[in-house]
């Protein structure tokens, strides 16, 4: 038996291939959008992919379960509560199947979503591991507030939190202490609020070290769980629906994205995502463009700023970066929204001024300061007294709230978000001087807050 963990650092996503060496069969759990790594794994191990299990219809990434099933003949197994639109076998409590000496059995563990399951892997009758999806993370538990308006079965966050309390304590914690815990996400995921940087654990370790598994009454657990959860990106409900239906095949869908010649005129009024470095962007860009830089979290911020009902252009520094960005766009299922992707920019008429940081440091009162960090960051790690808090995911809609009587300075915690935020504010407030504090914000923060 081999358990192979695949990690997508951009989305902090873990997926798994479990190999039965005697049967030469592979079972996949929560595969990412690009199926090729799983095909490669099966080929290297001279094995056949026989099953794909989805722990739930994911909100934060698009899965390749349907494509893999169509390509390999593998069976898709999901909870019957999901109401999947594709051919599948129901996999709920009491259901199990074998591959060689391995047995996979389902546990219904609602809470993160009403249709969440966990999968217990046993070898020759001995429980070895549990794949917990978004129910139990390392050092945290899943958030219960993503499905009030999405999916086949919707549920209110309080009820889901209550279900999660019982799933954790009545389904997962009774497993043996040595059972390995493999979650669907690690640190950086928006599906929880305090995930550990570790990529696996054990039931015993989580029992003693996971703050959400300490002795807590049900009501106290619910209150603590629902407090201070991170924002919900615009694309989450869209991905739940897409995963419930089954996404189109990855490679053909990526290939259909129009690659436009450099300098191609863009449709007037279109959303333009300019992924070039912020210093280049500020020297010249298409009027109204949003500067979401190529980086480790590009897809998350793309799906947080641009809604799934919008089409958009994508501008990259070079051809290789353009292809990488298209692939990142496909990870959240946004590639059909691309009106076109091109290298460079067809216009450079819009520019942004550079902030005189020392002048700002001496006279911050002469500026309207907009903090685009999350509300919890603004509350717990204040940087500028009297700053206006508008989180980046809300900025396109709320930029008109910003007073325009003084130059506007936009900041975040490290400079990545403020590049996007300042570009949004500049487009929304024509005639107002909009400045990006950028990485210089680190020189204003206490050491403990500079992250």
Residue 82 lies in a domain: yes
Q: For the chain, what is the domain count?
A: 3
Residue 416 burial (10 A CB sphere; 0-12, 13-18, 19+) = buried
Shared-domain flag, residues 436 and 294: no
Q: What is the pLDDT of residue 248?
A: 97
Residue 401 burial (10 A CB sphere; 0-12, 13-18, 19+) = exposed
Shared-domain flag, residues 87 and 181: yes
Shared-domain flag, residues 25 and 143: yes
**Cα–Cα distance, 59 to 332 (Å, whole number):** 9
Shared-domain flag, residues 90 and 202: yes
Residue 342: phi, psi to the nearest 5?
Answer: -145, 165
Q: How confident is the model at residue 148 (pLDDT cuts 50, 70, 90)?
A: low
Residue 352 lies in a domain: no
What is the percentage of the chain residues whose pLDDT exceeds 70?
Answer: 96
Residue where a domain stops, chosen among 236, 260, 292:
236
Residue where a domain stops, chosen among 285, 313, 343:
343
Q: For residue 356, how many other CB atoms are within 10 A of its CB?
A: 10
Residue 129 lies in a domain: yes
Whether 158 has a pLDDT exceeding 50, the answer reads: yes
What is the percentage of the chain residues whose pLDDT exceeds 90?
Answer: 90
End-to-end CA gap in the chain: 40
Whether 450 has a pLDDT exceeding 50, the answer reads: no
Average pLDDT over residues 39-49: 98
Shared-domain flag, residues 204 and 125: yes
273 in Cβ contact with 292 (< 8 Å): yes
Q: How confident is the model at residue 427 (pLDDT cuts 50, 70, 90)?
A: very high
Let me know how long the chain is.
451
Shared-domain flag, residues 177 and 74: yes
* Residue 415: domain span: 357-443
Per mean pLDDT, which range of 69-78, 163-172, 292-301 is the poorest? 292-301
Shared-domain flag, residues 319 and 392: no
Residue 243 lies in a domain: no
Q: What is the pLDDT of residue 446?
A: 66
CATH of the domain at 264: 3.40.250.10
Shared-domain flag, residues 164 and 60: yes
Q: How confident is the model at residue 445 (pLDDT cuts 50, 70, 90)?
A: confident
Q: Name 7's bridge partners.
A: 14
Shared-domain flag, residues 330 and 381: no
Residue 406 lies in a domain: yes
Shared-domain flag, residues 221 and 131: yes
Residue 448 lies in a domain: no
Q: How confident is the model at residue 451 (pLDDT cuts 50, 70, 90)?
A: very low
**Cα–Cα distance, 100 to 80 (Å, whole number):** 25
354 in Cβ contact with 282 (< 8 Å): yes
Whether 429 has a pLDDT exceeding 60, the answer reads: yes
Shared-domain flag, residues 365 and 290: no
Structure-token pair, residue 11: 């989305």
Q: For residue 182, how many other CB atoms are within 10 A of its CB?
A: 25
Whether 345 has a pLDDT exceeding 80, the answer reads: yes
Q: What's the pLDDT tens digit per position in 129-144?
A: 999 999 999 999 999 9
Q: What is the pLDDT of residue 150?
A: 53
Q: How confident is the model at residue 357 (pLDDT cuts 50, 70, 90)?
A: very high
Residue where a domain stops, chosen among 202, 236, 270:
236
Residue 450 lies in a domain: no
Residue 111 lies in a domain: yes
Q: What's the pLDDT tens digit per position in 217-257?
A: 999 999 999 998 888 899 999 999 999 999 999 999 999 99
**Cα–Cα distance, 131 to 164 (Å, whole number):** 16
Q: What is the pLDDT of residue 307?
A: 97
Structure-token pair, residue 390: 């508008």
Q: What's the pLDDT tens digit per position in 97-121?
A: 999 999 999 999 999 999 999 999 9
Q: What is the pLDDT of residue 135?
A: 97
Q: What does each C-alpha distance from 167 to 107, 110, 172, 216 come to in angstroms? A: 9, 6, 7, 14
Shared-domain flag, residues 142 and 162: yes
Q: For residue 405, how many other CB atoms are within 10 A of its CB?
A: 7
């Amino acid at each position: 038996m081999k358990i192979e963990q695949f990690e997508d650092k951009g989305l902090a996503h873990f997926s798994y291939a479990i190999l039965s060496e005697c049967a030469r069969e592979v079972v996949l759990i929560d595969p990412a959008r690009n199926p090729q790594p799983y095909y490669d794994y099966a080929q290297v191990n001279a094995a056949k992919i026989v099953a794909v299990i989805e722990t739930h219809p994911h909100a934060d990434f698009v899965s390749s379960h349907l494509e893999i099933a169509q390509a390999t003949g593998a069976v898709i197994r999901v909870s019957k509560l999901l109401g999947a639109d594709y051919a599948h076998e129901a996999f709920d409590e009491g259901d199990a199947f074998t591959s060689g000496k391995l047995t996979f059995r389902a546990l219904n563990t609602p809470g993160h979503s009403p249709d969440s399951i966990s999968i217990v892997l046993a070898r020759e009758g001995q429980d070895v591991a549990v794949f917990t999806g978004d129910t139990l993370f390392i050092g945290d538990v899943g958030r219960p507030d993503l499905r009030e308006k999405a999916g086949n079965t919707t549920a209110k966050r309080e009820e889901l939190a209550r279900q999660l309390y019982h799933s954790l304590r009545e389904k997962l914690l009774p497993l043996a202490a040595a059972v390995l815990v493999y979650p669907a996400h690690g640190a950086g995921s928006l599906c929880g609020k305090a995930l550990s940087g570790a990529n696996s654990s054990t039931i015993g370790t989580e029992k003693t070290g996971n703050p959400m598994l300490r002795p807590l009454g049900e009501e106290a657990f619910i209150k603590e769980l629902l407090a201070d959860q991170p924002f919900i990106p615009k694309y989450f409900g869209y991905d739940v629906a897409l995963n419930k239906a089954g996404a189109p095949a990855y490679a053909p869908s990526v290939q259909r994205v129009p690659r436009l010649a450099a300098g191609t005129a863009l449709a007037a009024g279109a959303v333009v995502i300019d992924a070039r470095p912020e210093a280049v962007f500020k020297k010249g860009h298409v009027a109204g463009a949003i500067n979401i830089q190529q980086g480790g979290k590009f897809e998350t911020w793309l799906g947080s700023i641009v809604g799934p009902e919008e089409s958009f252009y994508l501008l990259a520094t070079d051809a290789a970066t353009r292809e990488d960005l298209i692939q990142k766009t496909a990870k959240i299922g946004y590639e059909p929204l691309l009106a076109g992707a091109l290298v460079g920019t067809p216009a450079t008429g819009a520019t942004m001024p550079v902030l005189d940081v020392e002048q700002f440091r001496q006279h911050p009162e002469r500026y309207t300061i907009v903090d685009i960090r999350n509300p919890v960051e603004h509350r717990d790690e204040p940087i500028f007294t009297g700053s206006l808090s508008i989180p980046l995911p809300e900025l396109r809609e709320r930029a008109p709230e910003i007073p325009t009587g003084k130059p506007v300075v936009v900041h975040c915690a490290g400079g990545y978000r403020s590049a996007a935020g300042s570009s949004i504010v500049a487009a929304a407030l024509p005639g107002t001087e909009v400045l990006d504090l950028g990485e210089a914000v680190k020189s204003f923060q206490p050491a403990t807050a500079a992250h």
